[in-house]
Amino acid sequence: MKNADLAERKAAATPRGVGVMCNFYAERALNSELWDVEGRRFIDFASGIAVLNTGHRHPRLIAAMKEQLEKFTHTAYQIVPYESYVSLAERINALAPGDFVKKTALFSTGAEAVENAIKIARAYTGRSGVIAFSGGFHGRTMMGMALTGKVFPYKAGFGPFPGETYHVPFPVALHGVSVQDSMAAIQALFRADIDPKRVAAIIIEPIQGEGGFYLAPPELMQALRRLCDEHGILLIADEVQTGFARTGKTFAMQHYDVAPDLTTMAKSLAGGMPLSAVCGRAEIMDAPAPGGLGGTYAGNPLAVASAHAVLDVIADESLNERAVELGARLKRLLNGLRETVPQIADVRGLGSMVAVEFNKPGSNEPDPDFTKKVQQEALAKGLLLLSCGVHGNVIRFLFPLTIQHNVMEEALAILTAAIRA
């Protein structure tokens, strides 16, 4: 089997709207490495877009799914429930940020979790308005696109979107936007566009994913919490990309001294199986009537079994601590390169949610061309990297937290060569 032959078949059988980054096709993978159909090896610093914090095919996940496979694969939880769903909800309730009684509902995708969080917020508050942030990414469904603060390629040509969705600037000091600017923009919305008594929720990524790995400043979270409490608005933390040890804690909101009312999660929750969740205050989660939440595949038994194994691996292999260690190693390397690579404008991140931003030397002008060259050079040397950011000038690093030491060192050597090249 050849990559070129598969590319021809793909072009004939699938639509161009499903964009594909790589021109090769996966055949097998293990931990932090994958091989294509022609036998070429790649180090995976993409992790299926932050899905594989526990790596490809972790043996404990495989064993858990095999055991479940021998029992049953589907009943639809709303028809015939099963204990593993309930016990996973119990575990998430105990792990999620917030010192209050919580409940959890399981779904299939991150976008589905976001959609349901908005539904729950509207049901609880009796309000319809939602505020999100520029640069944020919340999914490709209609509500997900409405909330997303990036037009191309996610929103272009797909409107109109659900109404009463508003955006304010996300504070990024590098780009001259302060926390005060963001909060002033919300107050401007309240004066000109929507009464705060009609706002159901404010949704925010603690660290923007697709938007560029920008960290929400602690003072922003504190100000949002005060604002939400003042006006009866719910604070939703979208932890789809930040969750499950990526930042050095189980959830990124645990780096802050405030808690959200609702948390959305997906991606690394089940280590490659389609599973997502919304967790929040019990009284809020109970607002929708029976039948108002769910989905045919929501809480699939195989995915739930995998998620239980993921939580075990995070605890038993100390992945929170390993995320801090690996991220610090990467940031030291990137900061060292700043002395000789003038395009490096910023190195940032929490734990192993690390990014490097490239600008044209001596300016604040984004340099997406340089970013693309780094990505292409790394790929040619066998290292898979993802870009992000509204301007496409950021490289984000999403290696498995289980990556072998020698493979990590090999990858960092390739990265250094790619940036210098």
- 238 assigned to active site: yes
Residue 212 buriedness (CB in 10 A; 0-12 / 13-18 / 19+): buried
- 137 assigned to active site: yes
Task: Check if the beta carbon of residue 302 is closer than 8 Å to that of residue 291.
Answer: no
Cβ neighbours of 237 (radius 10 Å): 31
* DSSP secondary structure of 347-391: EEEETTEEEEEEB-TTSS-B-HHHHHHHHHHHHHTTEE-EEESTT
Distance from CA of residue 141 to its chain's centroid? Answer: 16
- In our burial notation (b when 16+ CB lie closer than 10 A, e otherwise), range 328-339 reads eebbebbeebee
Query: 12: which residues sit within 8 A by CB, 6+ positions away?
Result: none
**Tokens linked to 92:** 């998430």
Query: 361: which residues sit within 8 A by CB, 6+ positions away?
Result: 342, 343
- Using CA atoms, how far apart are residues 61 and 317, in angstroms rounded to an integer? 13
Set 150, 249, 267, 331: catalytic member = 267
Set 36, 44, 150, 238: catalytic member = 238
Task: Check if the beta carbon of residue 420 is closer than 8 Å to that of residue 344.
Answer: no
Partners of 239 in the β-ladder: none
- Using CA atoms, how far apart are residues 405 and 395, in angstroms rounded to an integer? 21
Bridge-based pairing of strands 234-238 and 262-265 is parallel
- 267 assigned to active site: yes
Provide the terminal-to-terminal Cα distance of the chain, rounded to the nearest Å: 32
Set 24, 42, 107, 137: catalytic member = 137
Catalytic residue ranges = 137, 238, 267
